[in-house]
Amino acid sequence: MKNINSSVDRNIINRKSLLAFSSKPVEKVKLEIIFEAARWAPSSFNAQPWRYIYAGKDDKGYQLLLSLLFDSNKEWAKTAPMLILSITEMIDIKKNRINRFAFHDLGLSTANLILQATSLGLFAHPMGGFNESLAIEIFQIPNGFKAGAIIALGYPGNPSILSEDLLKRQTAPRVRKNLEEIAFKGGWKGKRSEPGS
């Protein structure tokens, strides 16, 4: 596996859901490059359902974004110099029905964002743990859109700022299912995930 791993794109391998951020702000030009990457993702019928609300630590909106997070995320995400809320348009306007790819295509765009951040020496950590209906309400996002994730963005900080538990989490080895559990030749060979797996 090591052999294959070494052939994988460095941004994919170096990407990590970091917990300790430096206070160094994200440069405006880097942020623009990151959103430019997100912008060029493919999407079903080129609908581009993705939207992003972002705020640096001193910007209007940052404390709101932070307040939406579950405590378990707030604990570490408060060190992030930039928070980004991802949003997706649920309606297929051409067909006047739900776009079943709204979340899928938001994921395609967000992966671009994350990998571009990695490529620029930054880390982007997407979180699902936040109050998504409150996010829609608090930012007065119109009907037809849903909140995706809140993404913490910044440069790596000194891990010593982390609690013992968080430090353990940040330094734990990344684990994944085996390749044979996710990619099947010619037909279905999968199984359901088991609790705790």
- Residues 34 to 53: which contact a copy of itself by CB under 8 A? 35-42, 44-53
* 24 contributes a contact to a copy of itself by CB under 8 A: no
Q: Of 18-26, 70-78, 157-165, 170-178, which part binds a copy of itself (CB under 8 A)?
A: 170-178
CA distance linking residue 172 with residue 18, whole number of Å: 11
CA distance linking residue 194 with residue 101, whole number of Å: 26
Interface of this chain with a copy of itself, residues 71 to 100, rule: CB under 8 A: 87, 89, 91, 93-94, 100
* 145 contributes a contact to a copy of itself by CB under 8 A: yes
Contact between 98 and 92 (Cβ < 8 Å)? yes
Rounded to the nearest whole angstrom, what is the least distance from the CB of residue 84 to a copy of itself in the complex?
9
Site string for a copy of itself, 102-121 (x = CB under 8 A): xxxxxxxxxxx-xxx--x--
* 183 contributes a contact to a copy of itself by CB under 8 A: yes
Q: Which of 160, 164, 165, 192 binds a copy of itself (CB under 8 A)?
A: 192
Q: Which of 12, 97, 134, 163 binds a copy of itself (CB under 8 A)?
A: 12
Q: Which of 144, 155, 166, 167 binds a copy of itself (CB under 8 A)?
A: 144
CA distance linking residue 168 with residue 179, whole number of Å: 26
CA distance linking residue 40 with residue 42, whole number of Å: 7
**b/e 17-48 (16+ beta carbons within 10 angstroms → b):** ebbbbbeeebeeebbeebbebbeebebeeebb
3-class secondary structure, 72: helix
Q: Which of 23, 24, 27, 32 binds a copy of itself (CB under 8 A)?
A: 32
How big is the CA angle at 78 (ends 76 and 83), to the nearest 5 degrees?
110
Rounded to the nearest whole angstrom, what is the least distance from the CB of residue 11 to a copy of itself in the complex?
7
Q: Which of 25, 70, 78, 141 binds a copy of itself (CB under 8 A)?
A: 141
Residue 187 DSSP label: S
